[in-house]
Chains A and B, each alone.
Chain A
């Protein structure tokens, strides 16, 4: 059954309430919106180019999971990006100033932010459009700008805002206390003891450990097999004293990326870098969470948010894949006989090039690995990207529009287990399986490894994972 993973995700562990957008509409200053848009004239370069460069050829729409699900004008990526682009034209381009509506330029219309909240939260930020755009235009960057404007006006959808707030308050998007975390870890250690008959530790708060493991919190609290998988890898390599988790910082998820609030994104990121320094680790060892890894590897590090780093940044799948290639890990594939496929999370595939590693792990630990097509950098979004997966108020949209293509892709593989190295993808996928009544399980990559890796020559005793 797929339902056991249905509540994976970055939201609170308790049942989510029905979410409606801001109860009373905040007063929006039109000048503030216009200022935010005209500021693009001075950069970042990427956004400025995207305002001025679109040839309007329609290729993005043919590659967009949302437009594929429903070919409506409002879901056309160009149409969505025009919400900002047209106002930019009006204020920042010669033709826009001179010719106005004739070239599509227009001013901000009072009250239209209400509609923006819907439009910019129906882009999954998957960047697939950019892969196929002849100009290399990434509509997700424009959508994020739109979300930033909504955020500044206090109009970020409640669900998203809440996740950010909880994360900034507690250090994790589930709002779990260090005690709850430690209890969960103890439970996992007991589970592994039952499975293998030996003590496989998950070290916590160990100063001086080489590897500081930062998964998404869902991989500890809700769907923890990925974390037991990582623990078993370290154990099998004789490195179980060389790694650690933090009882305060165990969630790489960072919704500042999704709300477009750079200050929140950095505020959420900083404690993790501080904790890595405090623990004195050599490697910040990121778990199966695409956007967490992307923020660390493609944003924080190259843009030097916190200056020089005394550690390197690595993903757990890179590490495990290397060990498998070196022949240091053994498996009993018969523990995973069912057909298994891999869904490339957009943030891992298109944005970070982590594509072969999960396949190496799955092929080593499963009997029947199948590709879905297209894959890797060309893979279709699950339909829950850009944080949408956490938004229950758009569940219907995610099932019947943005997730349609993914469902077709998964069905075509005949797989009975979809692995995805991303809590948000897993939540969306599990909900899709439930919605379309497909008997297909959803989980992570190290989950499959956890079930088949040999510890002292034997795989885990547990066989029924449904």
Chain B
């Protein structure tokens, strides 16, 4: 347990940060460097390229026109994921709580709000994640092009969401542990929480982050590049 805790909580976080930043930097640089002569604009084009790309990134209008069922799964999944991502700021710092208390919320209220929003988000994420998996397995045109990495990415996400939900709905997990952990990581003397479920959750999450620059999940960065090409006004 201690070796595992040290590995996941003490070593992997640094590795994750380095691999992710270097990996993404490398990919972005390669895309920037590749020349692009000629126009690829698809019409009707938006009035401003930036506006079109932003709309695509936030609301997936192309997908909405193309496949409304997938759009509803995908948009809810991504939007909730973004919310949960923001919610995790509270996991690592007490700052958010202090700000909320400064504007008059009690610690109890913050707890209730977090439990409600986080709980709903956790269930929605798990549900849409499973729907995306079911879709991949059952719709012929998707199934026939699905491969190991497609299932791996989805299953890894579902595993992260599942363990997160277990922590949310299981025995109380005191966020003070992770806040201490975050501070200790910044001070390069890791103080790792001794919670098995947490460690498994963190392990999966970091594996995903490490995997991003090498997988199709990097579409969250590449979309700006590809959409800029076709939305060029």
Contacts and interface: CB of A to CB of B under 8 A. Distances in A.
B233 to A, nearest CB: 11
A299 B67 contact: no
Contacts, number: 162
Contacts of A41: 30
A351 B62 contact: no
B214 A45 contact: no
A43 B34 contact: yes
A123 interface: no
Contact of B222 (A49, A57, A82, A350): A49
Interface residues of B, number: 49
Given A58-B142, A59-B67, A93-B214, A298 B74 contact: no
Contact of B223 (A50, A62, A135, A377): A135
A59 B70 contact: yes
Interface stretch (B6-14, B39-47, B177-185, B188-196): B39-47
Nearest to A300: B38
B121 to A, nearest CB: 22
Interface string B119-151: 000000000000000000001111011111110
Contact of B141 (A67, A131, A299): A67
Interface residues of A, number: 57
A103 B217 CA distance: 13
B48 interface: no
A266 B125 CA distance: 51
A376 B223 contact: no
A42 B40 CA distance: 18
B63 interface: yes
B226 A50 contact: yes
Contacts of B222: 49, 52-53, 135
B89 interface: no
Q: Majority SS of interface residues in chain A? A: helix
Contacts of A350: 42-43
B42 A130 contact: yes
Given A53-B222, A136-B230, A353 B43 contact: yes
Interface stretch (A14-22, A70-78, A185-193, A407-415): A70-78
B144 A45 contact: no
B215 interface: yes
Contacts of A49: 31, 222, 225-226, 229
A298 B35 contact: no
A234 interface: no
A397 interface: no
**Chain B contact surface mostly:** helix
B58 to A, nearest CB: 12
A58 B35 contact: no
B70 A57 contact: yes
A94 B43 contact: no
Contacts of B30: 41, 48
A352 interface: yes
A53 B216 contact: yes
B218 interface: yes
B31 A132 contact: no
A302 B39 contact: yes
A293 to B, nearest CB: 13
A278 to B, nearest CB: 26
Given A136-B230, A355-B43, A302 B38 contact: yes
B219 A299 contact: no
Contact of B62 (A53, A76, A94, A133): A133
B66 interface: yes
Contacts of B16: none
A159 interface: no
A57 B226 CA distance: 16
Contacts of B149: 95, 102-104
A61 interface: yes
Contacts of A303: 37-38
Nearest to B57: A134
B60 interface: yes
B74 to A, nearest CB: 7
A94 B40 CA distance: 28
A79 interface: yes
A377 B44 contact: yes
Contacts of B44: 353, 355, 376-377
A136 B52 CA distance: 12
Given A73-B144, A103-B149, A132 B219 contact: no
A136 B226 contact: yes
A143 interface: no
Interface in A378-413: 378
Interface in B91-126: none
A135 B147 contact: no
Interface string A318-358: 00000000000000000000000000000001111101000
B62 to A, nearest CB: 5
Interface string B186-223: 00000000000000000000000000001110110011
B141 A353 contact: no
A44 B43 contact: no
B226 A62 contact: no
A54 interface: yes
B134 to A, nearest CB: 13
Contacts of A299: 38-39
Interface of B: 27, 30-31, 33-45, 56, 60, 62-63, 65-67, 70, 74, 139-142, 144-150, 214-216, 218-219, 222-223, 225-227, 229-231
10 contacts: A46-B226, A46-B229, A49-B229, A52-B222, A94-B214, A102-B148, A131-B62, A134-B66, A136-B230, A138-B40
